[in-house]
Structures are given as structure tokens and as C-alpha cells.
Amino acid sequence: MSLRFCQFHTEGIAQLSYLMGDTKTRTCVMFDPRPDVGIYIETARELGLAITHIFETHIHADFVSGSRELAARLGNAPRICLSTERATRYGFDHEAIRDGFTLALGETSIVARHTPGHTPEHLSYLLIEKARGVPWAVLSGDCLFADSAGRPDLLGDKTEALTTDLFNSLSRFYLSLDDGVIVYPGHGSGSPCGASIGSRLTSTIGYERRFNPFLQCKRLEEFRAFVLGNLPPVPDYYPRMKRLNQAGPEIVAELEVAGMSPGEFRREVEREDALLIDTRSMLSFGGGHIPGVLNIGARPLLSVWAGWLLPPDKPLLLVLEDDNELRRVLSLFVRTGYSRFSGYLAGGMAAWMDAGYQMRRLPQLAVEEIRSGRTARTILDVRTEREWASGHIPGAVNIPLPQLRSRSGSMIPRGPVAAYCGSGYRASLAASILLQEGFQEVYNIPGSFNAWKSSQYPVETEAETVAAPQL
């Protein structure tokens, strides 16, 4: 007889979900599942456990909740447990729970505690050994992160009230816990749900008490100024995700997307009823692509950039690096609410090329060529304003990627333009946007700012131009 506890890290959206089970009763529960739920079903099966309950910490803004999907795949046997604190309502069947709700799982009790701040209804879950009566861990959702805390500004006019709630949840609940209590947060580093989240995927109350700046503020006024002054930009798809998760995400089951011959695919492209997305790597895309396509490479970050840049109401046409990648690519889209697909190009760009159809190249420029300055061109930095402020290529123009389509016409001359980011991934996406916007001479810089710094070229900050540090 033993407790089983599994953490699942979803890269890209930097989301953390959890499975907790008891081998004596052969039951387990899930916390905050993502929508591609097969990994949870397989894990429970491997452990010989049955999923009986699915708990959500709050209404998520950054990804599609997998609770309905998981319950449906398991014949609606697990109960979906959702917070109804602050009179929160949902558009689908669930079990309403509130502060103090307790579920026994073997020798452990799961106790819900209302911890508003990131959202009004937010619950954290204490894990308590029955024999000792004290918590050994807390699933903190989006209230407390490693080195950070949840942002309180995602509901507009409720920001002031939620900031006060967050201060109280952290100071009255979290700081009241013993130092040894393990913290299992809802996100890791890279999520915009909190400012500067640390790289640790777990922590302890004692460690956070000592080092987390959000727990150092003793007065509400000090806390408010610190929290609201350090927020990353709000992705514009967050309100849509919240509405979707509260109303009830659709159940997509196993998506089946048809492959299309090059001729059929070209006819579908020419109809312009669907969005054309090339999910290949930047170098493959640069070597040859279908004119007018948007390049969102099939890395975990695809979920985020699809949410930022794609309208949710149009079907997608896909170009893949390899047809065998289809299932993985679909899961990346589903995480931020994209489940309508017209089809994919069977055989990929090799089949398109063999058919003799039109292709376009995106030239790639090494940082050495940018540094030489032999050819006059606009150097476009599509990183965030915070990344830009910490250091950039001298003479570059900064337009964060989500703003590029709306600002490119007024800020970028119609001559040659070369795009860079941190590694080249966002830059290739940006270059494909510029081509869609009518720019004729566009380049991508693979390696981008990472390669620039590795070459020890000069870096410009907000104050001055300095030499890059020796590596």
C-alpha cells in the first residue's frame, strides 16, 4: 500500500497538472488536466488505478481545461469538482465544492481552501496525513508559484479587489503553513500567468517565505505597487479561454484530420476559407514554402502563438515536417482551443514540389552578415519589451510579435527587413507575417540574439551600447 503522486509538465504553456493515487483502494484523482488527456489515462492504467475525481483549482485563462474531455473518455465516471466560491457558475455538469471540502484518499485527506486573488473562485488543495492531522503538501494552482504569485489583473475592473484578495491569501493562508510543506504550483517558468516564475517545478513554504519577493511585502500598499508594476503583457486570447472553460470546452475525442493530395490541397488554399499554417522548422520553411502561409513551428510554443495570432473561428490547413507528426501537432493546437481542421498536405512539401506548384523562399542571414553591415536593411527585433530592454542588436527596431501585424506598416520601411528574436523561432513566424503584409524582401536570422551574444558582438541596452560579456 502506498501513495502515488505524479507531476505532468506541459511545455510551451508551462502548465503543471497532477495525479495522486492510493494503491490500496486502487483509486486516484487528477488536478488541472490539459485537454490532450491520453497521458493521464495511460499513467493511471500503468499504475493500476481508477480515476474517480477531477479537481480544478480555478477557471483557467491560458489553456483549455481537460476536465470534460477526461471525464468523457472514461465514460463520465469521474466527478468533475469545481469551486463555486463567490457564486461562480458553469455551463456544464459538475460537483460544486467550497472551502473546507474534504476527500479521503487512502491515508491522505485532500482539503480545499479558498485562496482568491488570481481569480475570485480559486481553490488550493492541502494534502494532509490523517494520522498526523497536519499538511505535508499544498497544490497551489495559480496562487503561489516558485519565486512568484498569480497575476490579479485578468478580470479587468476586478483588479483592485483581486489584488487585495491575493495579498490576504498569501499572507493569511500560505504564510501560516509550516516551512516544510511542499508547494506544487500550477505553472512553471515561462507562463504569463505570473511575473518571473522560477525554474523550480516544486518548492517549499520555507524556501518561498525566505526568497519569494511576493511574500516579502508586509503592507497591502507595498504589495499592490510591486505586483501591478511587474506584470507581463496579457495574451489577448486569455479572455476567450476563460469564457470557454466556464461554459464548457467541447469534447474532441480522437481528432481525425484528412490528408489531401497536392492538387486537392491547392484548391483548398485557393478557396481561402481556411488558414494555411506551416508547422515545419525555420530552416525547412526558409528553403521553400507555399506563398501566403504562416510559419508556426511544431514546438510546444505553438500552443501559445496559435492563441496569440490565429482567430478561433476559421478551420486550419496544415503543412507538416512529417505526416507522422500529425497527432502531436494537433494536440498542440487543441491546448489553446483549435480543433477545426480542413486537412493536411499529404506527403508534405516534397509532394507539393513534385507536383510543380509555386513555392517561395525565405532567405536566412547569419549574424556575421548582419554585423558586417554590408547591406542596408531594417533589423527588426520581435521579442518582448522586457527582453529588448535587457539588451538588443544596435540600431534595431523593436515591435513585439503580437503587435507586428498592426504596427509593421507604420514602423518598418518598405525596403529589406531582417527579423530576429531569441533563437529564430519567433523571427521566422514574424517573417511570414511580413510576407503576408506585402513586404517583398524579408530575411530571417537563425540563432538570432543567442547567436549574436555567442559571437561576442556589441549589445545595446536602454542606456548605452556595451560590449557583450566574454563567454
Residues identified as active-site: 421
* Other residues' Cβ atoms within 10 Å of the Cβ of residue 339: 18
Q: Residue 45 class from Cβ within 10 Å (0-12 exposed, 13-18 middle, 19+ buried)?
A: exposed
CA angle 148, 151, 152 (to 5 degrees): 140
CA atoms within 13 A on the CB side of 110: 26
Distance, C-alpha 21 to centroid of its chain: 27
* Other residues' Cβ atoms within 10 Å of the Cβ of residue 359: 13
What are the CA-CA distances from residue 141 to residues 210, 300, 330, 381 (Å)? 20, 21, 26, 34
Task: Give me the count of residues in the chain.
Answer: 471
Residues with Cβ within 8 Å of 42's Cβ and at least 6 positions away in sequence, in order, are none
Dihedrals phi, psi of 80, to nearest 5 degrees? -90, 115
DSSP structure class, residue 234: P
- Return d(Cα 126, Cα 134) in angstroms, integer: 9
The neighbouring-strand residues paired with 114 are 123
Residues with Cβ within 8 Å of 435's Cβ and at least 6 positions away in sequence, in order, are 291, 292, 360, 362, 442
The neighbouring-strand residues paired with 31 are 18, 55
